[in-house]
Amino acid sequence: MKVIRLRDYGPRMRTAVHAQQVHDQIAQALKASSRVRLDFADIESVGETFLDRSLGALVAWHGATVFRSLVFAHCSPSVAASIGKAFPQAGPIRGASRKKQPQARTALSGC
C-alpha cells in the first residue's frame, strides 16, 4: 500500500497547486497498488478547492468507487468533517462528530 503524507505540503491544504500534485500522486499510486493511504497527520484544515481538484477529480474520472481504494488516516475532526461534507457518498467519517456511535467500516473510518 502506497502512503501519501499530506503534511509534506504544509498544515493547510487549500491551493490548487497542492491539489494537482496530490491528485497526480494518488493517480500514479493507484496504477501500482490497489490501495492508497492518505495520511492527514498534522494537517489542520483542507479547503473545498483542494478537495475538489484532488479527490473530486478522481471521483469524476473513476466514480465514487474510487473511495474503496483510498484509506484515510489521522484526520482531525475538522478535516474529517470537510471530507464528509465534500463527499457524502464516501460514507461515515469518524471524527466528524463527538458522539461515539457504531459505524460501518469504510475507507474513511480511519479519520
Per-residue pLDDT reduced to its tens digit, 52-90: 999 999 999 999 889 989 999 999 999 999 999 999 877
Which residues span the domain enclosing 14?
2-110
Question: Is pLDDT at 98 greater than 50 in this prediction?
Answer: no
Segment 32-50 shows an average pLDDT of 94
Question: Is pLDDT at 94 greater than 90 in this prediction?
Answer: no
Q: Looking at this protein, which amino acid is placed at residue 84?
A: G
Task: Name the pTM for this structure.
Answer: 0.82
H or E, element range at 28 = helix 16-32
Residue identified by cell 501500482 is 32
- Number of structural domains, the chain? 1
Per-residue pLDDT reduced to its tens digit, 3-40: 999 999 989 998 888 999 999 999 999 999 889 999 99
Tally of CA atoms within 13 A in the half-sphere of 88 that contains its CB: 1
What residues contact residue 44 under an 8 Å CB cut-off, 6+ apart?
A: 11, 12, 76, 78, 79
